[in-house]
Structure formats: structure tokens, C-alpha cells
Amino acid sequence: MVIYDSSKRVFKLDTENTSYVMGVTEEGYLGNIYYGKKADTTDLMYAMRIDEHPFTPAKLPGEKIGFMDRFPSEYPFDGTGDFHGNCINIRNHKGQEGLELKVQSHNIYTGKRKINGMPSARGEGTMSLDIVLSDKAVGAEVILTYTVYEECDIITRSARAVNVSDKEFYITKALSACLNLETDVSDILSLHGSWARERHIQRSKINYGSYVIESLRGEPGHQDHPFIALLSENCNKESGDVYAMNLVYSGNFIARVQKDQFDRVRASIGINPEHFCWKLEGGQEFEMPEVIMQYTCKGTNGMTNNFHNFFRKYILPPRWTDAERPVLINNWEATYFDFNDDKLVQIAEEASKLGIEMLVMDDGWFGHRNLDNSSLGDWYVNEEKIKGGLKKLVDRVNALGMKFGIWFEPEMISPDSDLYREHPEWALALDGREPGLCRTQYVLDFSRHEVVDYIYSRLYEILKSANIEYVKWDMNRPLAEAASLSLPADRQGEVLHRHVLALYELQERLVTDFPDLLLENCSGGGARFDAGMLYYSPQIWCSDNADPVERLMIQEGTHLIYPLSTTGTHVADSPNHVNGRVTPFDTRADVALTGTFGYELDVTRIAEEERNLIPAQIEKYKKYRHLVQTGDYYRIASFRENGRYDSYMVVSKDKDKAVLIYVQVVTDSNVLTKKLKLYGLAPDKKYNIDGVEYLGSTLMNVGYIMKPLRGDFQSVVVEINPAE
């Protein structure tokens, strides 16, 4: 629900359990008043503390800047006295910078406006609010949009800047949202890592000054994540305050938390202003990506469930939200570049006997690519490897009862490629300097429409040529030296954002032309696992590291925000190809159970003992597939925290059944067995675990005794059913 109380000059946005409140001062400034548990009144202007400001402009016009230094601005702007980190900055045609945004009008309406050119949450059954802010001297308007998702306790926010003058100006900073808090938040929750160890959870104290996480890589990256949460000191898994923001964007981002001299905390998030500058002509507008925002008093598990419910209903492609995902086998770690059609069919023949449902042909099928130093951009089948062409291979795989998928890296171009030899200007590069290589490849200049159209035409022709039902879209290097040889000097700051917009355009065209295609995004593993990508692809390859011990920490951080069904999880070889760790085959499968499930190995070469385990592993996955895809996920214990074991569970929406996963990483000697307090069950319902009946309240309050496991890297999956 969205309310505007004109007598109080107060906006109140209500979800099922929360309220977000803003107020308009006498001068027209929009301020943040309150965010938290549901408020039952709009008589809340007092909480903005206007009367405590000795320098209110209405009372003392000569002290505007002192007032702005104290004011909890809803969308802070640069150059007028707010020194606590702003959201927007504009440089006018005379080179001057500075804004003063005041409320001009507002509009409350049902449903939601689509953000042009970018993914955003669907708006069925919602209410929205637009607030128009204006600076007449600059000729700029900023429209703030809020949409309320009542049942998820989620509010989405976005902004767009409009040039209402007849002169161009330049947007040099364009963040999407800001949150001002005067509550007892003390901690920052964020996700960090590197290649092969993405999205590790970090909890830090909020101190005076600024805390920044960001990416300058042209994508969110392995290192940081476009998400930030502020926690109360007592916040744990089941209780405590959480304020969270997640940016729906797949490029450079910044999230900043600042504690000021008045002990207030401001958090903001949006496009990273470094290397960014957008020229806006008169009459044009610039859209900023959406932010998914929530408050909960139910701890991190409460935050997780809100995000999961929201993503499943409003972000993920509807075609795939409830659809079963096929169990696949990818040939990458099985063969790398050393394969041909017969080898792939040999893998498919063995895989089909074991119950695997799809073969994915990874890198190396096109151009003359036998190593990673050639042929990107030459999206033509290498018929020396794939004899008779792609359709013949796909038909052979389909004849085995298996689906077929294929790998692309559409954003890249190799120096050793026919495309680069014909169009060297199509690669991003500084004029007069040889472009920098990474993975022996360059990045295509997606600010050129002819490049985007050409690449899509090649993808389209390949996908039309055979019965291809799955695409793995990869991106294996960051964007550096991101300069276009076609854009004018005053638009070079647009290159990185234009790349993201073109990426969205390509994927939109792909899923529109091929509506039944299962698209899985990937970026060197998990460097682009974000809400923007999930709008097009219902699953993303979680990490290039499928070692189950490392995956415990990667998946813990990923599942903190994103539904389990979005996580690409495979059973890989042992010793692991990334870190060399040796682990049991069934433990690798149990850790991969809470994801999309598949295999990353050569089933024709693994030990017969392991191969014989695959049918039972697939049967177990299929048994829990619907529950994992639709149920509520709860974190019980963290290997990252205790260094010994990991545990989590998924409970059906009707609380009728659940599955508990326990992984013992390190064996303990002469210690008590683990007592695990479970979550999400019905307190008064009786449950059966291995023939023993328990009340739900008993399992949640007293706990479940986990039977001891012998040896390191052991796992068990515990089924929880209703008692007869």
C-alpha cells in the first residue's frame, strides 16, 4: 500500500510487516523519516528532527548549507551542502556542477513501469509511487520510483534523470538508492572472494567514515557483490534487524556505507561513478538500475526467505520458475579442447545409461579453436571436429534420449580470428595503443550497434540450425582500456554502461526468439551472478570450483540472497581440477544436491565404483528437486564459522516435509554428537525422521541429534516427513 498524507506532507509505503516513510519539508526537500516494523500512523514528521535544526532555511535563509549537512536526504544531491555521500551529480553545459532537488509532484498508481533497456522486477499486483524532484536552474528532473511487494516485505526503487532544458548536460554520478538510518545498526554484511572462491560472507563493524565495496571490472566480478546489508548488533540467523539492498545490475557498481558525526548511517548503491559520464541532450532521460530493498526483524534467515520468494515470483523467467531443470553433463573438465563428435557421443551414450538428461558441448567447437588463443567471434562450426555439422551431432545425441546444449562467449573476440582480421576496430581499445590481452582475448565494442547485430545473427543461425535446448553464456575476462573507436570524446564515459545495456539487449532478443531455451549465464564461474542476469537466465554457473568443501562457503554466500534453483552445481572429478582436494563421490553429489545438479567429468573414464553410484545420486536429486526449487531455505551451521561442519535445510511451503543436509568436513574425536536446532517447521506438527517421531517445536527448540560420521569430508541427507 502507498499513502500520501497531504496534511502531514508524508509518504508511507507499507508491506505486510514493514513501513517506509518519507516527508517533504516546508522548503520542498524530500527526507527519509523511518524504515522498520509497520507504523500505524502518518504523523511521523517529528522523526525527521526538523525542529532540532537551528539552521532551517525557512527560519534562517542564510544557513541552507548548514541545514543540508544535517538533513536525512532521501536522494542526496551534490553541491548544496550534503557532505555525506550523494547519489547524483550533474555538470551543466558551462562545466558547473551542483544540484538542488525539490519535490515538484508525485503519482500513486497500481502496477509498475518497466525500466527501459534494463531488467527489473515484474509488477503484478503491486502499487507504485513516482516522486518528481526538480532543479529548474540546471534544467534537470529526477523521478524516484518505488514499488511495494506486500507479501514479500520488499520495496523496489529506481531513479531516472530527465533533461528538461534545451542544453546538454553530463551525468557524472547516478546511484539508484540511498537509505538513512538512525537505528542501532552496528554491522555490515557483504560478500567477497576471488576466482574459484566467490561470495564468501563477511561481517564487519560499522565505524566512523566510509566502507565501500565496488567493481571496476565491467561486471560485478568475483571479488565483490552488488549487495549490502546492515545488521543490528544482536542479529543472528533467526532474529534481529536486517536492512538490505541488492542492485539489479551486471556492470560496475558501488555500495557505500557511511557513519557520520551524528552517529547516523547512510547506505547507497548504484552504478560506479568511476569511468562513468553520460551525456544527456535536451528532452532525453537516463534510467538507473533497480534496487531490491527490504527490512526484516527475523534475522538473516528472514532476509533470505524474503529474497528467495521475491526472486522466484518477480525476477526469474516465468517459463522456468517451476519447471524442472534437466540433469546435465558438461564436457569441459572431461575433455577441455581435445574432443570431436565421436568423443562427445561416447560420453552421451554412457551418460544416458546412467540417467543423465542433457549433454552440453563446451568451449572448442568453433573456428579453429584448439586452445584458448583463437577464434572467439568466429561462431561457425569446426567441421574437422564436428564432422557432418552441428545438426548431425545433435541428432545423434537426441537419438539417445538426451537433450543438447552449447557454449558461447559472445562478448569476446580473439586477435587470431577471421572477425578481428576483418574488423579490428570492433574491439575496445585506446586509440594508438595495442589493446591489452586477458585470456588471450579482447572485448567487443558493444557501443556499436552493428557489432551487437552481427553477433546476434551468428548466435541465431547456430541455434536455428539444430535442436539446441540450452545455452551456456560465458564471459571470461574483465573490461579494461574500455574505450570505443567510434564514440566521440564526450561520450567515452558511456562505454561500460553501454556494454551492459547491449548485453541485456542480446539476452532479451535470445529468450524472445527462443522462448523455451534454457539459458545459463557464466563469467569465469561466478563473476556475474547477479539479479540482472537472473532476469534472463533462471540459473547461473556458481563457480568454476566444484570442490565440495569450497562450495560449502560459495553456496552459503550465494544462497544468502538467491534461490537454490538459480545455482549451477555439478559433481566434478577428484582430485579436484582447481585445488587438488580428494573427496568422496557421494559427498560431492550431496553438496551439489541443493542446486541445478549435473556432472563435470568424463563418465567413460571414472572408476566403475563411482560410475555405478550415479543413478542413485540422480534419483536422490529428482526426489528432492521440487522441494529444493520451491521450498524455504534455512542455514543451520556454517563451516566458514566453525571450521568443522556445515548444515542447512529446505522446508516445503506447507511445512509438511523437509530435507536436512549435513557435511562433516573435519572428523572430531571423543566429542559429543552434534545437536542441530532446525528451522521453519510447524511447531505443533509431528515429524518422522528415520522411524522416530518428533514434534516440530522439539526439533526447533531442543534440536536434532546428528548421528556421528566416520572420516573427513563425509555427508548425510536426512529426510523429514510428516508422522503417520
What is the longest distance spanned by two Cα atoms in the chain? Answer: 84
- pLDDT tens-digit readout, 162-184: 999 999 999 999 999 999 998 78
The backbone torsions φ and ψ at residue 266, rounded to the nearest 5 degrees and listed phi first, read -120, 130
Asked whether residue 667 is assigned to any structural domain, the reply reads: yes
Q: Is 16 helix (H, G, I), strand (E, B) or coil?
A: coil
Question: What pLDDT was estimated at residue 673?
Answer: 85
The yes-or-no answer on residue 590 being catalytic is no
Catalytic residue among 544, 573, 632, 646: 544
Is 644 in the same domain as 545?
no
Question: What pLDDT was estimated at residue 707?
Answer: 85
58 has a pLDDT exceeding 60: no
Asked whether residue 263 is assigned to any structural domain, the reply reads: yes
Could you tell me which of 324, 229, 240 has the C-alpha nearest to residue 267?
A: 229
Count of H helices and E strands in the chain? 16, 39
Last residue within a domain, chosen from 606, 630, 654: 630
Could you tell me which of 174, 203, 129 has the C-alpha nearest to residue 273?
A: 174
Mean pLDDT of the chain: 95
* Contact in structure between 468 and 462 (CB atoms under 8 Å): yes
CA angle 58-60-61, nearest 5°?
Answer: 75
- pLDDT tens-digit readout, 620-663: 999 999 999 999 999 999 999 999 999 999 999 999 999 999 99
Q: What cell was used for 382?
A: 569446426
- pLDDT tens-digit readout, 475-506: 999 999 999 999 999 999 999 999 999 999 99
Question: What pLDDT was estimated at residue 57?
Answer: 63
Total number of domains in the chain: 3
Cα separation, 373 vs 524, whole angstroms: 16
- pLDDT tens-digit readout, 205-220: 999 999 999 999 999 9
Question: What pLDDT was estimated at residue 82?
Answer: 83
Confidence of residue 326 (pLDDT cuts 50, 70, 90): very high
Q: Which amino acid is at 237?
A: K
- pLDDT tens-digit readout, 417-447: 999 999 999 999 999 998 899 999 999 999 9
Confidence of residue 40 (pLDDT cuts 50, 70, 90): very high
Is 311 in the same domain as 375?
no
Tell me the mean pLDDT in the region 188-199: 97
Cα separation, 112 vs 125, whole angstroms: 9
Cα separation, 418 vs 454, whole angstroms: 14
- pLDDT tens-digit readout, 147-166: 999 999 999 999 999 999 99
Neighbour count for residue 502 (Cβ, 10 Å): 22
Question: What pLDDT was estimated at residue 61?
Answer: 64
Asked whether residue 687 is assigned to any structural domain, the reply reads: yes
Is 514 in the same domain as 624?
yes
Could you tell me which of 41, 13, 11 has the C-alpha nearest to residue 24?
A: 11
Is 421 in the same domain as 517?
yes
Question: What pLDDT was estimated at residue 670?
Answer: 78
Is 676 in the same domain as 529?
no
Is 501 in the same domain as 582?
yes
Strands 227-232 and 242-247: antiparallel
Is 609 in the same domain as 702?
no
Asked whether residue 323 is assigned to any structural domain, the reply reads: no
698 lies in which domain range? 639-722
Asked whether residue 349 is assigned to any structural domain, the reply reads: yes
Tell me the mean pLDDT in the region 563-580: 96
- pLDDT tens-digit readout, 244-292: 999 999 999 999 999 988 889 999 999 999 999 999 999 999 999 999 9
Cα separation, 119 vs 115, whole angstroms: 7
343 has a pLDDT exceeding 80: yes
* Contact in structure between 117 and 287 (CB atoms under 8 Å): yes
Cα separation, 16 vs 154, whole angstroms: 9
Please give the share of the chain, as a percent, with pLDDT higher than 90.
92
Question: What pLDDT was estimated at residue 174?
Answer: 97
Cα separation, 430 vs 615, whole angstroms: 53
CATH of the domain at 672: 2.60.40.1180
Instruction: Please report which residue ranges of 226-382 form alpha helices under DSSP H.
Output: 299-310, 318-321, 332-335, 341-354
Asked whether residue 265 is assigned to any structural domain, the reply reads: yes
Place of cell 585506446: 430
Please give the share of the chain, as a percent, with pLDDT higher than 70.
98
Question: What pLDDT was estimated at residue 67?
Answer: 80
Is 548 in the same domain as 651?
no
Q: Which amino acid is at 65?
A: I
Asked whether residue 344 is assigned to any structural domain, the reply reads: yes
Cα separation, 703 vs 694, whole angstroms: 10
What is this structure's pTM? 0.96
The yes-or-no answer on residue 43 being catalytic is no
Is 648 in the same domain as 601?
no
Q: What cell was used for 105?
A: 509532484
- Dump the DSSP string for 196-257: TEEEEEEEEE--BEEEEEE--SSS-TTTB-SEEEEEETT--SSSB-EEEEEE--SS-EEEEE
Question: What pLDDT was estimated at residue 60?
Answer: 60
Tell me the mean pLDDT in the region 380-405: 97
Residues 6+ apart with CB under 8 A from 551: 542, 543, 545, 569, 591, 592
- pLDDT tens-digit readout, 550-566: 999 999 999 999 999 99
Confidence of residue 456 (pLDDT cuts 50, 70, 90): very high
Strand (E) or helix (H) holding 127 = strand 127-135
Could you tell me which of 404, 409, 308 has the C-alpha nearest to residue 351?
A: 404
CATH of the domain at 151: 2.70.98.60
* Contact in structure between 693 and 686 (CB atoms under 8 Å): yes
Q: What cell was used for 402?
A: 538426451
Catalytic residue among 362, 474, 590, 632: 474
Last residue within a domain, chosen from 574, 603, 630: 630
Cα separation, 242 vs 36, whole angstroms: 9
Is 559 in the same domain as 647?
no
Cα separation, 240 vs 36, whole angstroms: 12
Question: What pLDDT was estimated at residue 398?
Answer: 98
Cα separation, 319 vs 516, whole angstroms: 7
Asked whether residue 696 is assigned to any structural domain, the reply reads: yes
Is 196 in the same domain as 258?
yes
DSSP 48: G
Per residue, what are the HEC states of 152-167?
HCEEEEEEEEEECCCC
Question: What pLDDT was estimated at residue 434?
Answer: 87
Q: Is 272 helix (H, G, I), strand (E, B) or coil?
A: coil
CATH of the domain at 453: 3.20.20.70
Is 567 in the same domain as 688?
no
Q: Which amino acid is at 19?
A: S
- Dump the DSSP string for 384-434: TTSTT-HHHHHHHHHTTT-EEEEEE-TTEE-SSSHHHHH-GGGB---TTSP
- pLDDT tens-digit readout, 102-127: 999 999 999 999 999 999 999 999 99
Question: What pLDDT was estimated at residue 671?
Answer: 80
Last residue within a domain, chosen from 315, 342, 367: 315
